[in-house]
Structures are given as C-alpha cells and as structure tokens.
C-alpha cells in the first residue's frame, strides 16, 4: 500500500483492526491521509481507506498507522475478485 500524497510505502496487516506497518520514521504520515492500493488485482493507486492514527512501532524503527476503511469489515459476507 501507499500512504498520502507522497506515496509512502507500508505493509498492510489485516484483521479486525487493520494496521499499516513498516512506515519510515521520516515519513510525514498523518490522520486523514489517503491509503492507496498497489495490488496488481485492482487499479494502481485506487483509494482504499484513510489513516486513523499514527504511532511509533514497538521496535522504535518504524511508524505504524491504524487504517479505517469506508465500510464495516464485520458486515462483509462474500467477496468477488475481478481480474
């Protein structure tokens, strides 16, 4: 995934509370920044959510960000993948 207008790289860790990890400490990532997809299965740069909060990772080497999506993940019952 990419975050913000500068397109900082991050890794998505899914689950009930998705988190973007491995964000460089020098990255200017802030709440409200747009999160974009880089997966080959969807259009590159497609907005998939926003940054909810940013904190220092437990290893003190990177930042991490809580991500919010424009839908309630607990309500998803089926997903269709379109190539």
For 44-58, how does the pLDDT look when each residue is reduced to its tens digit (9 = 90+)?
888 989 999 999 998
Predicted confidence band of residue 68 (pLDDT cuts 50, 70, 90)? very high
Can you name the residues that pair with 12 across neighbouring β-strands? 20
What contacts 61, CB < 8 A, 6 or more positions away? 25
Q: List pLDDT tens digits, range 17-47.
A: 899 999 999 999 999 999 998 888 778 888 9
At residue 12, the 3 state secondary structure works out as strand
- Measured between alpha carbons, how far is 75 from 82 in angstroms, rounded to an integer? 20
CATH class of 2-75: mainly beta
pTM listed for this prediction: 0.80
Q: What percent of the chain has pLDDT over 90?
A: 54
Domains in the chain: boundaries:
2-75
15 pLDDT higher than 80: no
């Amino acid at each position: 995934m990419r975050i913000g207008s500068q397109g900082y790289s991050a890794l998505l860790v899914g689950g009930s509370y998705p988190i973007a990890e491995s964000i460089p400490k020098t990255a200017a990532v802030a709440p409200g920044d747009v999160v974009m997809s880089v997966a080959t299965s969807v259009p590159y740069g497609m907005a998939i959510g926003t940054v909810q909060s940013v904190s220092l990772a437990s290893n003190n080497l990177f930042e991490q960000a809580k991500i919010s999506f424009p839908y309630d993940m607990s309500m998803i019952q089926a997903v269709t993948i379109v190539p």
